[in-house]
Copies of this chain bind each other. A is one copy, B any other.
């Protein structure tokens, strides 16, 4: 398929138009067409009550001049309803976040709203700066996968009329809508299954404590272990923020005097690291990872699957469906995305003990 030229004909330069990169204004179009600004505006915006004749006149002039409406000026004049919503995630190269972004982007299609994306790199200060920035740019809403622990400072933003929706991690110290994964349910299911397969020493490889989802997952892990009367303190590792860290921490754990017979990787980054660590370990180690991933089936990895794309979609839909007024006064609702334990083998290895 070829790109169809738009309004303007295929000539090299707009015939009557100025040669330089000057973009004509609506006023110029109106003058060229011999009509008033308002009429030109009507035609350009496809409003009714314009004679076919005048419409043609205006369109012709617009075409010849190479007119392009100025979205900024338009937004300003009509009271600035922004045409973009912002998404702030930790790191786009993490497939989980990429999936969320995909969901948001998909949902936005056909709504004349675009996605502005930025990643905080899990850096508190950068996150705050980004929020400030997007608020300044009058984002219609800010979707936030937050790293910050206390969100009370964001109330200012809400009061400015810019809704903040929390993704993956709920707000604390702030009333705002959120969309999260069923972290405790998913973790519990995984740990309980490992226990049911006879494991008594189950390692936990998780991300920074301060990350909320990991607090929850860790809590569910310890609870499940305690409920089964098992010790966890010597098997939990909590600073595996990337695959490399996860790998070395997992290796350490497996090399200890009394190594775990099973591992629970608390997110997709940890899972990658654990897979590398387990790969060339002398005895088989059971493994369940939180978050599904594309090649899990090929590798036979049991995962706590969830649907980050759905999460993104749901959050975006919320923003699209709710009138701004209501969004600005959020109810603090929480939507939980369920998880499923997908058994592919690695989580069904019985304990060697």
Identify the A interface with B (CB < 8 A).
Answer: 1-10, 12-14, 17, 21, 23, 66, 68-73, 75-76, 80, 82-84, 91-93, 95, 98-99, 101-102, 105, 114-119, 124-125, 128, 132-138, 148-156, 159-161, 170, 175, 243, 272, 275-276, 279, 293-295, 297-299, 309, 328-329, 331-338
Contacts and interface: CB of A to CB of B under 8 A. Distances in A.
B125 A2 contact: no
B136 A6 contact: no
Q: Could you say how many copies of this chain the assembly holds?
A: 2
B309 A295 contact: no
B105 A92 contact: yes
19 contacts: A1-B124, A1-B149, A2-B150, A2-B335, A4-B128, A6-B334, A9-B332, A14-B156, A14-B159, A23-B161, A66-B160, A70-B76, A72-B76, A93-B99, A102-B119, A114-B134, A115-B117, A272-B298, A276-B298
Nearest to A280: B298
B71 A138 contact: yes
A188 to B, nearest CB: 17
B335 A135 contact: no
Contacts of A175: 6-7, 9-10
A159 B6 CA distance: 13
A14 B12 CA distance: 57
Contact of A3 (B12, B148, B331): B148
A134 B128 CA distance: 27
Contacts of A160: 21, 23, 66, 68
A181 to B, nearest CB: 11
A116 B71 CA distance: 15
Given A117-B101, A119-B105, A299-B295, A2 B71 contact: no
Given A5-B334, A148-B3, A336-B1, A117 B105 contact: yes
Contacts of A336: 1-3
Query: Across chains A and B, which 10 residue pairs bring their CB atoms closest together, nearest first?
Result: A3-B153, A1-B124, A98-B98, A2-B150, A21-B161, A93-B102, A92-B102, A71-B137, A117-B117, A5-B153
B298 A93 contact: no
A73 B138 CA distance: 11
Nearest to A135: B68
Contacts of A101: 92, 98, 117
A64 B161 CA distance: 17
Instruction: Give the most central of A21, A160, A161, A297: most B CB within 10 Å.
Output: A21
B155 A12 contact: yes
